[in-house]
């Protein structure tokens, strides 16, 4: 619970820091769930106290949302695994280690490997021009026949149920970040509107402004209660792919509305970086995509309601 409150509090001030804490807890959870006792002893406390910095390398340029079709390959020979493929959007791509997800070509399962980024065959490319979440630099990680020892593979990453739990956990933990961002925007808006005098009165004294503030607070309360309930379900082991997707889809879409309302209430100053809101507006766009896009979350929740999967189109390429 404490971790999620930390994500919430940090995101109230800066979305990138919130995302960093959230992602670090996801990586810890991956090691905790999929690591052997030796791997846990070796890495868990180091990752938790940030003396070992690890990035999360899952997404790929050619697969995007169709993440289960991941193409990065892990080939085992007598003594090593050889990794080949390209990872995209890796946040903090230049951290010393990356947790790389690759398909074991023998078993076809998607497994996790701890890769040191200074190994021969690893090439890093910064993604230039990213406009939001700017504390975190994203990049590509190209793996060209990268040789890693057996011990680099998280021991239980061939257990598909455990791997699914790691990904559900990642998505569930993420909803506290946009919720914190909404809270930060609301608090900054009140302060700004209280200080700003127009037509001889503070902006907060106008009915049309108050109506918008009520809408924002209602959105925040909805987001917080949904996110908090999801955290509780997670703690009690009742979180699943559908309830996580449902909460994610709602929180992100109403959160986007809340930030736009704040921007509107501040008038022209709403587009300035000085007032937190414009930054929050572009940062919220990251959350729209992170840990699956909004569409994916909606389609997963829709499948649960109807029993009909609508993820695939039959029109072909």
Ligand X SMILES: Cc1cc2nc3c(=O)[nH]c(=O)nc-3n(C[C@H](O)[C@H](O)[C@H](O)COP(=O)(O)OP(=O)(O)OC[C@H]3O[C@@H](n4cnc5c(N)ncnc54)[C@H](O)[C@@H]3O)c2cc1C
Kindly list the residues in this chain that would bind ligand X in the complex (CB under 6 A).
Answer: 56-59, 64-65, 89-91, 133, 138, 286, 289-290, 292-293, 295-296, 299, 311
Shortest Cβ 245–ligand X spacing (Å): 12
Q: Which of 127, 15, 157, 132 is closest to 61 using CA atoms?
A: 127
Of 31 and 58, which CB lies nearer to ligand X in the complex structure? 58
Of 31 and 56, which CB lies nearer to ligand X in the complex structure? 56
Of 36 and 65, which CB lies nearer to ligand X in the complex structure? 65
Of 148 and 252, which CB lies nearer to ligand X in the complex structure? 252
DSSP string, 57-122: E---TTTTT-GGG---EEEE-SSEEEEEEEEEEEETTTSSEEEEEEEETTT--EEEEEEETTSTTE
Shortest Cβ 254–ligand X spacing (Å): 18
Shortest Cβ 188–ligand X spacing (Å): 22
Residue that has been written with the tokens 């991941």 in this structure = 70
- The Cα 69–Cα 260 span in angstroms is 35
Q: Which of 30, 156, 152, 29 is closest to 83 using CA atoms?
A: 152
Q: Where are the beta strands (DSSP E) in the chain?
A: 54-57, 73-76, 80-91, 97-104, 110-116, 122-126, 138-149, 197-198, 201-202
Shortest Cβ 160–ligand X spacing (Å): 19
- The Cα 27–Cα 92 span in angstroms is 13
Residue nearest ligand X (C-beta atom): 64
Of 65 and 269, which CB lies nearer to ligand X in the complex structure? 65
Of 225 and 311, which CB lies nearer to ligand X in the complex structure? 311
Shortest Cβ 216–ligand X spacing (Å): 24
How far is residue 83 CA from its own chain's centroid?
Answer: 24
Shortest Cβ 296–ligand X spacing (Å): 6
Of 182 and 298, which CB lies nearer to ligand X in the complex structure? 298
Using DSSP's 3-state secondary structure scheme, residue 128 falls into coil
| Pairing mode, strands 54-57 and 201-202 | unpaired
Shortest Cβ 295–ligand X spacing (Å): 3
Of 39 and 292, which CB lies nearer to ligand X in the complex structure? 292
DSSP annotation of 272 reads S
Q: Which residues contact 240 (CB under 8 A, 6 or more apart)?
A: 168
Query: Which residues, listed in sequence order, are joined to residue 146 by a DSSP beta bridge?
Result: 83
Shortest Cβ 91–ligand X spacing (Å): 3
252 with 244: CB under 8 angstroms? no
């Amino acid at each position: 619970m404490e971790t999620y409150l930390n994500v919430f509090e940090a995101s109230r001030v800066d979305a990138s820091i919130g995302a960093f804490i959230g992602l670090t807890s996801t990586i810890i959870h991956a090691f905790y769930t999929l690591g052997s006792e030796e791997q846990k002893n070796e890495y868990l406390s180091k990752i938790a106290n940030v003396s070992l910095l690890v990035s999360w390398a899952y997404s790929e340029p050619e697969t995007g949302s169709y993440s289960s079709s991941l193409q990065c390959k892990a080939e085992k020979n007598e003594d090593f695994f050889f990794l080949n493929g390209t990872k995209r959007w890796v946040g903090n791509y230049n951290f010393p280690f990356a947790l790389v997800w690759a398909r074991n070509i023998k078993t076809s399962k998607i497994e996790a490997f701890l890769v040191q980024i200074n190994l021969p065959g690893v090439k890093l490319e910064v993604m230039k021009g990213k406009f939001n979440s700017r504390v975190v630099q994203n990049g590509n990680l190209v793996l060209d026949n990268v040789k890693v020892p057996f011990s680099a593979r998280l021991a239980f990453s061939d257990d598909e149920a455990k791997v699914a739990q790691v990904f559900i956990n990642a998505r569930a933990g993420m909803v506290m970040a946009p919720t914190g961002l909404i809270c930060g925007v609301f608090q900054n808006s009140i302060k700004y509107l209280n200080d700003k005098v127009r037509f001889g009165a503070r902006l907060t004294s106008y009915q049309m402004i108050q109506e918008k503030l009520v809408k924002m607070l209602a959105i925040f309360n909805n987001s917080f209660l949904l996110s908090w309930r999801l955290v509780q379900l997670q703690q009690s082991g009742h979180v699943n792919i559908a309830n996580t997707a449902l909460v994610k889809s709602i929180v992100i879409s109403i959160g986007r509305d809340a930030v736009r309302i704040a921007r509107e209430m501040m008038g022209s100053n709403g587009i300035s970086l000085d007032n937190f809101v414009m930054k929050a507006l572009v940062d919220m766009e990251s959350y729209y995509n992170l840990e699956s896009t909004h569409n994916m979350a909606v389609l997963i929740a829709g499948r649960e309601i109807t029993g009909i999967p609508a993820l695939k189109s039959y029109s072909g390429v």
